[in-house]
């Protein structure tokens, strides 16, 4: 897609700082780095979100993520590493081309995701799971 910034990066039409690439994925530095070593792992084909990933792309993106995560661990020895991935505006997605964030983490680094746990009763979890099982392809 010509108006997609990550397609432009994959095609080399706009510059990026690459860490690793293979046939299906590209790992590169996020210009909005939260902590040093913050990378994005994008699929090369234009797939908007997780719903569009086939098995090959899904496997490829996680293979690359695991590999560059080990590199981040070796290079920075962070106290932690967060994988973040947003689908849709409500989830915080701003670039509509599938990517994972890998963010090296430190105590008190200021990165926060509010997590309003509701702890519903087991029966509610059972009902939710049944609804999901019925929707599986």
Known catalytic residues are: 99
- Binding at 64: pick from ligand 5GP, Zn ion, none (beta carbon under 5-8 Å per type): none
- Binding at 32: pick from Zn ion, ligand 5GP, none (beta carbon under 5-8 Å per type): ligand 5GP
Contact 44, 56 (CB under 8 A): no
- Beta sheet of 99-105, edge-to-edge order: 18-21, 25-29, 39-43, 99-105, 80-84
Which window, 41-49, 76-84, 101-109, 112-120, contacts Zn ion (CB under 5 A)? 41-49
Q: Which residue, among 1, 76, 80, has the nearest Cα to 42 in the 3D structure?
A: 1
Residues in 70-129 that interact with Zn ion by CB under 5 A:
97
Residues in 20-79 that interact with ligand 5GP by CB under 6 A:
28-32, 40
Contact 32, 18 (CB under 8 A): no
Which token pair is 111? 């990165």
Between 69 and 98, how does the x/- string for binding to ligand 5GP read (CB under 6 A)?
-----------------x-----xxxx---
Element (H, E) at 101: strand 99-105
Tell me which residues touch ligand 5GP (CB under 6 A): 5, 16, 28-32, 40, 86, 92-95
């Amino acid at each position: 897609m010509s108006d997609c910034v990550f397609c432009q990066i994959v095609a080399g039409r706009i510059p990026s700082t690459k860490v690793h690439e293979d046939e299906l994925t590209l790992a590169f530095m996020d210009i909005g780095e939260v902590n040093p070593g913050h990378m994005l792992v994008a699929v090369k084909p234009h797939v908007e979100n997780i719903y569009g990933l086939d098995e090959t792309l899904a496997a490829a993106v996680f293979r690359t993520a695991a590999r560059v995560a080990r590199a981040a661990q070796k290079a920075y020895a962070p106290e932690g590493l967060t994988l973040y991935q947003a689908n849709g505006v409500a989830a915080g997605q701003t670039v509509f081309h599938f990517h994972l964030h890998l963010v090296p983490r430190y105590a008190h680094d200021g990165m926060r995701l509010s997590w309003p746990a509701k702890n519903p009763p087991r029966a509610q979890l059972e009902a939710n799971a049944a609804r999901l099982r019925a929707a599986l392809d």
